[in-house]
Amino acid sequence: MSVDTAASLPQPSGRASGQGPERRAISLFRGDIVRRAMIDSLRKLDPRVQIRNPVMFVVEIGAAITTVTWFIQLFGGRALGGRDPAWYTFVISVWLWLTVVFANMAEAFAEGRGRAQADTLRTMRQETLARLRDGTTRPASDLSRGDVVVVEAGELIPGDGTVIEGIASVDESAITGESAPVIRESGGDRSAVTGGTRVLSDRIVVEITQEPGQSFLDRMIGLVEGAARRKTPNEIALNILLAGLTLIFMIVVATVRPFGLFAHTSISETTLISLLVALIPTTIGALLSAIGIAGMDRLVRRNVLALSGRAVEASGDVDVLLLDKTGTITIGNRLASEFVPMAGVSETELAEVAQLSSLADETPEGRSIVVLAKKYGIREHDMTALHATFVPFSAQTRMSGVDIDGRQLRKGAGDAVIAFAESEGGTVPAQLREVLDRIAREGGTPLAVARDSEILGVIHLKDTIKEGMRQRFEQLRQMGIRTIMITGDNRLTAAKIAEEAGVDDFLAEATPEAKLALIREQQAQGRMVAMTGDGTNDAPALAQADVGVAMNTGTQAAREAGNMVDLDSNPTKLIEIVEVGKQLLITRGALTTFSIANDVAKYFAILPAIFVSTWATTAHSHPAQGPLHVLNLMSLGSPRSAVISAIVFNAVVIPLLIPISLRGVAYRAVGASALLRRNLLIYGLGGLVAPFIGIKLIDLVVHNLLGA
Amino acid sequence: MTFTGWLTIFGFAVILTALAMPLGSYMAAVYSGRRTFADRVLGVPERFLYRVLRVDPTQGQDWKAYGRSVILFSLAGWLLLYLILRTQTLWSFTGLNPQGFHSAPWDVTFNTTSSYVTNTNWQYYGGETTMSYFSQMAGLTVQNFVSAATGIAVAVALIRGIVGRSGRSLGNFWQDLVRTVLYVLLPISVVFSLVLISQGTIQTLSTYVTAHGLTGLSQVIALGPVASQEAIKLLGTNGGGFFNVNSAHPFENPTGFTNLVEMLLVLVIPAALVFTYGRMTGSRRQGYAIYTTMMLMFLGAAIVAYVAEAHGSPAQHAAGLHTGVIAGSSGGNMEGKDQRFGIAGSALFDVVTTVTSCGAVNSALESFTGIGGAVPFANLSASEVIFGGVGTGLYSILLYVLLAVFIGGLMVGRTPEYLGKKIEAREIKLTALGILVTPLAALFCTAMAVASSAGRQSISAVAAGGPQAFSETFYAYLSQANNNGSAFAGYTGFVQPVAGNVGSHGITFADLLGGLDMLFARFAPILFALAVAGSLAGKRVSPAGLGTMRTDNPTFVVLLIGVIVLVGALTFFPALLLGPIVQGLTGRLY
């Protein structure tokens, strides 16, 4: 993130520091998560759970059949096992069960990590007694919409609501991870409070806006646990495709048997089931739900709470980003950018006076003047060493400055300084008006500087674009996303800042209605729109946008209108959200490609094993080798070892890919074509080649060391 | 391999492209309702037909109505054709049954009727020993026109669905049907019938003649109205020969020049439709990308087939025969090929006819070398999307395009969209089903046929049980499922002791299974394609940006080829292994 430079300056909204502390990724291999995941992956073997995942359900049925076959063989039956030895059936059935278990484990790990986070959250949901305004008390869990409660310093806020009376500092670290307290007050845009946070000072009256069990915290827990997870549209579509592939491979495998018999080759059920399991897309089928849960988890770690999985997916599709100028594109305050001296005054002289007048001025504007003056080689002065007296800003004078050695140095609004100079008996330089007007026209704020009766020049304060924003927008353009800056400034100013920041477009003199109209217009053109907002008047636009990210500092109305809440209240977070959304889809696509490409190698392992003796003319070698044995490209040790190796590879690739499915495939803002080429190469070509190597290595172990 | 051989293949590709581009834009005009030069002449019969059919061409149909029209029209055509074929003797009064042929048995007729209505033209019968001139002209040729037009209409409807900006209309089936026949098929057929006649293709209604040879043996020479049926046989990718040996017969395909013309006729509409697609979507590059995909796969197949045939068979090499080119010999494997076409002319024809759903042949596919013979298998395994049949090729590859878009689209991190329209659960479901139907039908029918004793009856006794028998069976159902119609001879559904069907009987199992195979694999994908069109028609279009996956660049062409090859290979690998591959790997003859 690039806004750290700005973070040294106080932000207007109290605590919207550029970047909240990223919630740390909870390690995959924390003991309790692993233990729980192991237990869960066995519990999920329940067919009623498996049936939700057609691919893995087929594997489970296959595992059950081979297990039964093994039992029959143990007791001397040969009905299903054909000429297979019992140990072969046993090994295959074990690995088929393991395939299902690994798939369950992927999901369990993803859920486990979310659950660990949820547990942390749950500890905050202590049962508190809410004090209603009428003096009665009631358990917090019974509060419903419209109840009005009183919360005093040291107490937990019993539920989500809006402050209707009073002002208080609130510790929200429990949900945001940010330890600095925030101000919550009635009216305005900082009136929303969250249940489970603690009031540190003062007393507020809160009107509850949630129904029991529907609090922010409840929803957050549900989401990270995956309990509230519903399949997203793309996930459903992908599931259908996987089911379709499973169907076709079932037919393919079912026909292999009569085809084989026609060629006088009998194939056992165990081997056929192995072929089926190897072909159906088990890899992506096993990891699909883990990928979804992990996507949600990645957002939570970035302190973003998505209220639906659909919104996360939609964020990958965003075409247009609406960004507020202030606080997002520019840092909140205007900073000195230029000294404009009057005729006969040198820039250095103006800079020196401006600096002296600002020495005691602790406002960001004042400090920026000192910083700018440094560029003119003016050293910093020490107020006390100068025996200077600070003249603070007042609403009457609208100026501030210092008195040094009997001289009065002042800076302030143009007309105030003119009045001051005239009262001291000075004259107003002819060009002053012109300079003041020019700066105002450009959207800047002019501050005149006077030394006693003499007006020396003007300080140009202007909006400063946050560092790195240009690159960010360039990146977004590469991703195919247009940025539109929203500002209340006039067109001229807006155009200038827009150009400087490198946004694609801007909406000047924006009103909430204009914002809403802009979103509708973009959507009518078929674009997906994302925006951030915090005020109540943002709520309609947030609701209209396809991805509306409400700032946690915002009002309850805004938080309910959006489909995501950013706990850090960092408007640039949208960019990260888009990346997470894209990553989610890319991970699914890449692993699907990988899974299907793997099939080629599995064919080359299993089919030569099945048909090694088909149409054999000589019986010298054992087993007799027919013409098809040349397809054993990997020269796998024996037919049984080949089948086992393919199945083992098919199973172990699942846990091997768990990390990548939880972390997500890297997203690069390089444009769709380059991205597609890259992923096709890695997951398509890689998916073709990797199993050849993997199966061969497994075969070396299975055949040579274990003698299969 | 000769320079002339390579020139034939690459020159053919160039001429094809040069012809297909203008035809493609003409057809785009025809289906967009824009005026063309032909309007003045053809407008009158067109309006007349609408009045007779009681059709209001301005009345748009949604996918269900369109699909209903397709099914109804095909059903009516099926009943009519079945009736004509089963009552062959009744029509003798027309004078169009000079040989006095009886009808073929009901089961063979079921197969034949299904075959012509589905644009397959799979033939268990031999034309000159089974069909009267009346059946050929009024029955089979009519279906050659309208079954081709039906395929094209469905493709156009799918294009309209993809392009559609509002509403659910896919156009009007009856209008598309009439315009296809009048504006596209008829004019080209007439012109090229005349071209063929000029080269020696016959066109007569007289009785067969008997020729007395020098040795005193006599021979019946079959005649017929061949030229008028020949042009549409190829142009409509029908492929049903007037004679049993199809385009190898000198009366059907007399010279090397007609051979070239015939190949062009087969591919010109499937190729042109791709350009039509580019025009109608408003982005010609979309058409070029699909054309490139098809052309690359086509050339790949042609090169493999040519090299394999020119190289000769392992058996020839084992016998120490010279297979190189020497004066007076084309070299290579000439078994089952005609001297007037040569190696390249036969190999290319073979590829042309199996990448499309034509199925006409000018040489014996089962006499090709192992690898050369694996090419038609591979082409059929790709589900007729390498140009494919008229219309069917385009709508089939568009389903593959949607599949590729879905997988590729995910990999660029957006909800997959094609030409601005999102590909969601419903489209994926329909697309997957539309793609899976043909392979499923082929595998299922083959399994039924090889597993049952009824199915094995169709295999000629010599080959029974070996890989060749498997190849023949598999090819038969693969060809029928793909509505192709070409055959690895040896698999039959008709036992005919003498010409004229007296005492003949069908092999009911093969006739019915094959007929159902064709009907199912023709109409199920049509309905799925139309449903996809209906689903896409009303979708909002989002503008393309840098983040959108392009579908008109080389990367997409690679992805599309990958998807087509992978789906085909994964589905058919086990079956191919036991048929052509095992034969290609052994010196033994089965």
Q: Identify which of A258, A279, A482 has the shortest CB distance to residue B451.
A: A258
**Cβ–Cβ gap A259/B588 under 8 Å:** no
**Cβ–Cβ gap B543/A259 under 8 Å:** no
Q: Collect all residues with Cβ–Cβ distance below 8 Å to B64 and sequence separation of at least 6.
A: B534
The residue among A660, A662, A708 whose CA lies nearest residue A683 is A660
CA–CA gap between residue B480 and residue B514 (Å, rounded) = 6
**Cβ–Cβ gap A259/B406 under 8 Å:** no
Residues of A in contact with B574 (CB under 8 A): 252, 255-256, 259, 603, 607
The length of chain B is: 590
**Parallel, antiparallel or unpaired: strands A505-507 and B421-422:** unpaired
CA–CA gap between residue B449 and residue B580 (Å, rounded) = 17
Residues of A in contact with B446 (CB under 8 A): 255, 259
- Point out the residues of chain A with pLDDT beneath 70: 1-30, 78-82, 124-127, 174-175, 177-179, 189, 223-229, 332, 380-385, 618-623, 708
First CA to last CA distance, chain B? 28
Residues of B in contact with A527 (CB under 8 A): 542-543
Range B185-202 average pLDDT: 96
Question: What's residue A13's pLDDT?
Answer: 35
Q: Identify which of A234, A240, A607 has the shortest CB distance to residue B429.
A: A240
Q: Collect all residues with Cβ–Cβ distance below 8 Å to A423 and sequence separation of at least 6.
A: none
For residues A505 and A521, the answer to whether their CB atoms sit within 8 Å is: no
Residue B367 to chain A, least CA–CA distance (Å): 21
CA–CA gap between residue B514 and residue B446 (Å, rounded) = 10
CA–CA gap between residue B181 and residue B150 (Å, rounded) = 10
Residue A151 to chain B, least CA–CA distance (Å): 46
Question: What's residue A82's pLDDT?
Answer: 63
Q: pLDDT tier at B307 (50, 70, 90 boundaries)?
A: very high
Tell me the three state secondary structure of residue A455.
Answer: strand
> Which tokens belong to A228?
């509230």
| Residue A457 bridge partners (DSSP) | A341, A449
Cβ of B460 under 8 Å from any chain A Cβ? no
Amino acid at B406: F
Q: pLDDT tier at B463 (50, 70, 90 boundaries)?
A: low
Question: What's residue A621's pLDDT?
Answer: 58
Q: What is the ipTM of this complex?
A: 0.93
**Cβ–Cβ gap B408/A680 under 8 Å:** yes
User: Is pLDDT above 70 for B233?
Assistant: yes
Q: Identify which of A245, A262, A676 has the shortest CB distance to residue B470.
A: A262
Size of interface A-B (CB pairs under 8 A): 207
B197 CB-contact burial (10 Å; exposed 0-12 / middle 13-18 / buried 19+):
middle
Cβ of B325 under 8 Å from any chain A Cβ? no
Mean pLDDT of chain B: 92
pTM: 0.88
Question: What's residue A1's pLDDT?
Answer: 32
Question: What's residue B331's pLDDT?
Answer: 82
Question: What's residue A8's pLDDT?
Answer: 35
Residues of A in contact with B545 (CB under 8 A): 319, 480-482
Q: Identify which of A316, A589, A615 has the shortest CB distance to residue B467.
A: A615
| Residue A334 bridge partners (DSSP) | A463
Helix axes B392-411, A672-679, angle to 10 degrees: 90
Residues of B in contact with A320 (CB under 8 A): none
Question: What's residue A6's pLDDT?
Answer: 34
Q: What's the DSSP call for residue B440? A: H
Q: Identify which of B425, B546, B558 has the shortest CB distance to residue A480.
A: B546
CA–CA gap between residue A116 and residue B140 (Å, rounded) = 72
Residues of A in contact with B575 (CB under 8 A): 255, 259
**Cβ–Cβ gap B577/A628 under 8 Å:** yes
User: Is pLDDT above 60 for B545?
Assistant: yes
For residues A329 and A472, the answer to whether their CB atoms sit within 8 Å is: no
**Cβ–Cβ gap B410/A673 under 8 Å:** no
Question: What's residue A509's pLDDT?
Answer: 83
- Identify from B407, B414, B426, B513 which residue to disrupt to test chain A contact, counting A C-beta atoms within 10 A and taking the largest count: B414
Question: What's residue A18's pLDDT?
Answer: 37
Share of chain B above pLDDT 70, in %: 98
**Cβ–Cβ gap A607/B577 under 8 Å:** yes
The catalytically annotated residue of A218, A297, A324, A566 is: A324
Residues of B in contact with A477 (CB under 8 A): 546
Residue B49 to chain A, least CA–CA distance (Å): 41
Q: pLDDT tier at B462 (50, 70, 90 boundaries)?
A: low
Q: Write down the H helix ranges in A556-638.
A: 556-561, 573-610
Residues of B in contact with A272 (CB under 8 A): none
CA–CA gap between residue B215 and residue A652 (Å, rounded) = 76
Q: Which of A462-476, B150-164, B261-275, B525-539 has the lowest mean pLDDT?
A: A462-476
Question: What's residue A226's pLDDT?
Answer: 63
Higher-pLDDT residue of A38, B519: B519
CA nearest B581 in A: which residue? A628
Cβ of B570 under 8 Å from any chain A Cβ? yes
**Cβ–Cβ gap B578/A263 under 8 Å:** yes
CA A604 to chain centre: 41
Active site residue A463: no
**Parallel, antiparallel or unpaired: strands A547-551 and A529-533:** parallel
CA nearest B545 in A: which residue? A480
Residue B130 to chain A, least CA–CA distance (Å): 33
**Cβ–Cβ gap B577/A244 under 8 Å:** no
Residue B134 to chain A, least CA–CA distance (Å): 42
User: Is pLDDT above 80 for B488?
Assistant: yes
A182 CB-contact burial (10 Å; exposed 0-12 / middle 13-18 / buried 19+):
buried
Around Cβ A152, how many Cβ atoms within 10 Å?
Answer: 13
The residue among B412, B548, B504 whose CA lies nearest residue B124 is B504
